[in-house]
Amino acid sequence: MPLRSGKHGSSHIISIKTAWGEGAIKSIFPLLQKAKTVKIACFTFSSYYLLKHTNNTAEVEVYASNIAVKELVRATFYKVKNLHAKVILIDDHAVIGSANQTYGGLHGNIEFMIITDNKEVVEDVKRFFEHLRRRSSLVSG
């Protein structure tokens, strides 16, 4: 995917947060609680903390290189070799940051993320998830 520069449309960035794990992630709880679809991409997924705060009727997909969930969770899991991105798509909002979906990434580490509803950025993120789907293998769902 080519690097694009310049302004991304007329939409705005809703929020930019820097925080220690849990503090940053809590800022997306209102979006998760109303979500219809949630897609998560990260290197390691071992904590269902985010999913516990997601609307029970939301369709959830998780893309990760390492999946280590000890309990059954309501999501479809895809394994993607060499995935290192940390991106979440919640309906028409993109969340881009540094946290893996692990205990440390959500509770203890100093993490940074950007939340945006910018239409061009959200469309780029949707295309990214389409790319991941083509490169992934279904683990459970």
Structure pTM? 0.82
The CATH number assigned to the domain holding 125 equals 3.30.870.10
- Residues with Cβ within 8 Å of residue 24, at least 6 apart in sequence: 17, 18, 97, 99, 111, 112, 113
| Percent of the chain with pLDDT strictly greater than 90 | 38
Is 7 inside a domain boundary? no
Task: Tell me the DSSP string of 56-76.
Answer: TT-EEEEEEEEE--SS--SSE
The rounded mean pLDDT for the chain is 80
Residue 63 corresponds to which tokens in the numbers above?
Answer: 């893309």
Q: Which helix (H) or strand (E) holds 10?
A: none
At 81-119, the pLDDT tens digits run: 999 999 999 999 999 988 777 767 676 777 788 888 888
Residue 55 lies in a domain: yes
Q: Is the pLDDT of residue 75 over 50?
A: yes
Domain that holds residue 26: 13-140
Provide the domain count of the chain.
1
Q: Enter the DSSP assignment of 60.
A: E
Specify the residue for token string 């939340």. 115
